[in-house]
Structure 1
Amino acid sequence: MKIALASDHGGYRLKETIKKFLEEENIEYIDFGTNSEESVDYPDFALKAAESIVKEETDRGIFICGTGIGISIAANKVPGIRAALCYNIFAAEMSRRHNNANVLALGGRVIGDELAKAIVKKWLETPFDGGRHERRINKISEIERKFAK
């Protein structure tokens, strides 16, 4: 599994923590930035990382901004991306089991390092249940196609 990492300045510190965690777990990643706490615009980094998932250069993504809200909104504008903003382990598990989320969004200013690592671990190890949930994912894809230009 190869993970696309992205953050803005508000998520930079937590992204660096998650990078170390992924290394400890022997999980490959590509860091799409940012590379400091200097103010930047989260859509720029969300787009680059989301494109890598859609192009199958990476398998899933972990995107982080101050709250996780903005970067998840930006990521979800990319057809094929299902970004889930998770603040607890149960939400992370269900985002994979029921929604087949391919992007985990986190808030660097609202959750601590240990909780974030536990959320990431659960999210990475949880498979998609399929079944009736596949039908719902397909309906989301139909919505994307309906509004595609």
Structure 2
Amino acid sequence: MKLIIGSDHGGFELKKSIIEYLDKEGIAYTDAGTHTSERCDYPVIAKKVAEAVAAGEYDRGILLCGTGIGIGIAANKVHGIRAALCHDMFSAEYCRRHNDANILTMGGRVIGPGLAIEIVRLFLTTGFDGGRHAERLNMVREMDV
């Protein structure tokens, strides 16, 4: 699996914890920035990650900001992206099983690293159920303009 991860300053510390986990597990990734805790604009990072996932350069992405909300809204503006905000394990599992989410968003000011790592693990290892969920995703795709 090809993975890309990015954050703004609000998600920078949590991104460092997630990267440490990815390194420990031998999971390859590309870090799209930011690379410091200095203030930056989340739409820039969201666009870079979302466009790379939408283009098929990466299978999945992870985006982090202070709450996970703004960066997810920005990512979902890119055609073909299904970014899901998850701060619990149930949502992480079902965003993949039922929604085939291709980007996970979380908030560095909302969630701690232990739970975030478990959410990432589920997001990366859970497949899409297909079936009636694929039919619904097709309905959602038809809404794209």
Q: TM-score range by the shorter chain?
A: over 0.9
Paired residue for 2:135? 135
Superimposed CA distance per residue, residues 74-129 of structure 1 (whole angstroms, 9 cap, x where no aligned partner): 00000000000001000000000000000000000110000000110111110000
Amino acid at match of 2:36: S
Q: Give the aligned length.
A: 145
* 2:5 aligned with 1:28: no
Give the AA of the match of 1:112.
G
Secondary structure in 1 aligned to 2:14? Answer: helix
Kindly report which structure 2 residues correspond to 1:100-115, keeping only aligned pairs within 5 A, or say none. 100-115=100-115
- Structure 1 unaligned segments of length 5 or more: list them: none
Structure-to-structure mapping, 1:47-126, within 5 angstroms: 47-126=47-126
Cα distance in 2 for residues equivalent to 1:33 and 1:139: 33
Runs of 4 or more, structure 1, over 2 Å off, are: none
The amino acid across from 1:118 in the alignment is E
Amino acid of the residue matched to residue 123 of structure 1?
F
Looking at structure 2, the residues matched to 35 and 140 of structure 1 have their Cα atoms a distance apart, in angstroms, of 35
TM-score normalised to the size of structure 1?
A: 0.95
| Residue type at the aligned position of 1:65 | C
TM-score, scaled to structure 2: 0.98
Of stretches 20-29 and 113-122 in structure 1, the one that deviates more from structure 2 is 20-29
Cα deviation for residue 138 of structure 1 reads 0.8
Tell me by how many angstroms 1:49 deviates.
Answer: 0.8
Partner secondary structure for residue 62 of structure 2 = strand
Letter in 1 for 2:95: S
Question: What letter corresponds to residue 10 of structure 2 in structure 1?
Answer: G
Q: Distance in 1 between matches of 2:24 and 2:2?
A: 14
Q: Please give the root-mean-square deviation of Cα atoms over the aligned residues, in Å.
A: 0.7
Aligned to 2:12: 12
Give the unaligned 5+ runs of structure 2.
none
